[in-house]
Amino acid sequence: MPSYTFMSTANAYALRGAVPVFVDCRQDTLNIDERLIEAAITDRTRAIVVVHYAGVGCAMEVIGEVAKRYGLALIEDNAHGLGGSYHGKPLGSFGSIAAQSFHETKNVQCGEGGALLLNDPALVARAEIVREKGTDRSRFFRGQVDKYRWLDIGSSYLPSDVLVALLMSQLESFDEIQLRRHAVWQAYHDGLADWAASNGIPQPMIPDGCKHPAHLYYLLLPDLQNRQAFIAHLAERGVQAAFHYQPLHSAPAGMRHGRQAPGGCAVTEQIADRLVRLPLFADLDEHDVAHVIDAARTYKLN
């Protein structure tokens, strides 16, 4: 799995006694570097976990081939990717399992919550039992069994009706939400292009064949000092920007429960120091977006 991701990606496996092996990210998309995965595989490897950073698809053809060659499960952390696609195929539909997030920071959200996407029919029956506290309660309600029993290890993963209602209202308006988010994303991209190029500041790169969902918009400042100064510069002008993930491989729990892949994670370390996210949500209007762009363009590199 990538080191440049949220700790939940690693927690899911460490909680079950597996050892996360942290692979470096690509310089351009910030996704797991598919060229480094094979060197990280050992006879103990059971799965490859990808994260589609900012909703930009990983190199799924290459990664899928590696997984097939070594007989490994392919799992997608699609927390950023709802509405994105890779060569016409929706993100979340490549792996046997994909996780979807509806956390408050996502394009559609219910505060806390998520979904399990199953692309392997053989996993459906057990997944239903796991989500129902390890019981066949759902089969009981469908009249398929005369009582429900404890069959497997599970937990209480069901969201409340209130949270589902909040989420459903947004899913029903998903196309409209996405249209507005894409307008903000593109305005940033176009409005900051000249300033970014003249200052050597990379903007997001979308490879051919990738359709992103406008989940977030980031810039890569030259170094940590400029990144922090840029965030402070925007804050002084009423714009709230933020950095993002800290590397998992060097986090206390990451060192305790996981390990780095051969070659280390040098790109991850420098990306974590440089990246800043601009505000992006559907309710930003043209005046708000113009203000963010103007505030960013007035920053002078140290």
Q: Which domain holds residue 193?
A: 7-113+159-297
Span 43-84, pLDDT tens digits: 999 999 999 999 999 999 999 999 999 999 999 999 999 999
Query: How far apart, in Å, are the Cα atoms of 90 and each of 85, 211, 288?
Result: 4, 9, 31
Question: Considering the domain boundaries, does residue 152 fall inside one?
Answer: no
Q: What is the pLDDT of residue 158?
A: 85
Question: Considering the domain boundaries, does residue 204 fall inside one?
Answer: yes
Question: Considering the domain boundaries, does residue 85 fall inside one?
Answer: yes
Question: Considering the domain boundaries, does residue 21 fall inside one?
Answer: yes
Q: Which helix (H) or strand (E) holds 75?
A: strand 73-77
Question: Considering the domain boundaries, does residue 40 fall inside one?
Answer: yes
Domain CATH code at residue 257: 3.90.1150.10
Q: pLDDT band at 277, cuts 50/70/90?
A: very high
Question: Considering the domain boundaries, does residue 141 fall inside one?
Answer: no
Structure token digits, residue 74: 């392919």
Question: Considering the domain boundaries, does residue 288 fall inside one?
Answer: yes
Span 74-126, pLDDT tens digits: 999 999 999 999 999 999 999 999 999 999 999 999 999 999 999 999 999 99
Domain count, the chain: 1
Question: Considering the domain boundaries, does residue 106 fall inside one?
Answer: yes
168: nearest Cα among 223, 91, 115: 115
